Structure 1
């Protein structure tokens, strides 16, 4: 089995970690939904939720791209399997801006990064930023009506950047 085929190390979009039309009042609600789903499917340790919330507070992940996004993640020791969770949010949710003191962005999409190898996080952040610079990426994701289609569409977008 190659690394790309191994669910423990492959950083690929996963339907079982994704949401279409996620209703969330705030960023903590988005992170809690991701953490609960990841724990439910066995992708993270029970420590993951607290680590994810603490990391977002200390190092916000909102990006002020044309369509604002958030890229939450926690340290690798809390993950069992790698993958990406994609949440198309029902309404924009305020996330702290990455490197932006006290400013926020109204994220319309959140992409959870789960990695088991430290180097993979930086590589994935670079790939995600490339996706968010593609013309029409949000429109393509917006057509997805199921987590399966959302994950498959996101995988196509990732492939188009490499």
Structure 2
């Protein structure tokens, strides 16, 4: 191939990719992370959530079960950690986007996403606090079987386990 034709071919490929005329396939992986802690001594729950839906429900035993599930793009990360210090349970769940070349954000959002399911023993907690990064304008919390869309104006939500306070 002559130098002129090769340059035109490369330029055409660059134009097609940058204008979105050539689609990118998104490779996804399933996420299923599970953590369990004894719930007997827990009086407070602190949740740090980044880009994940939150479902709080009753557990079948005295333990706390945290499960992060859904799908993520191969370049993304899903993180779930739990720890108990004194009588405070701390749960961190995050979905972190990787770097992409020419990927439509709507395609990424339609094909990926994770949900944190937190199963708590049936009792009243002194405090349940959900920390949401300021970058997130809203979060979805499923409480009492109903999906609540929590935004900047919602400081708290009542639940079976006590009041859930939203902190930004």
**TM-score normalised per structure 1:** 0.30
Structure number with the higher strand fraction is 2
Q: TM-score, normalised by structure 2?
A: 0.29
Higher helix share: 1
User: Rg bigger for which structure?
Assistant: 2
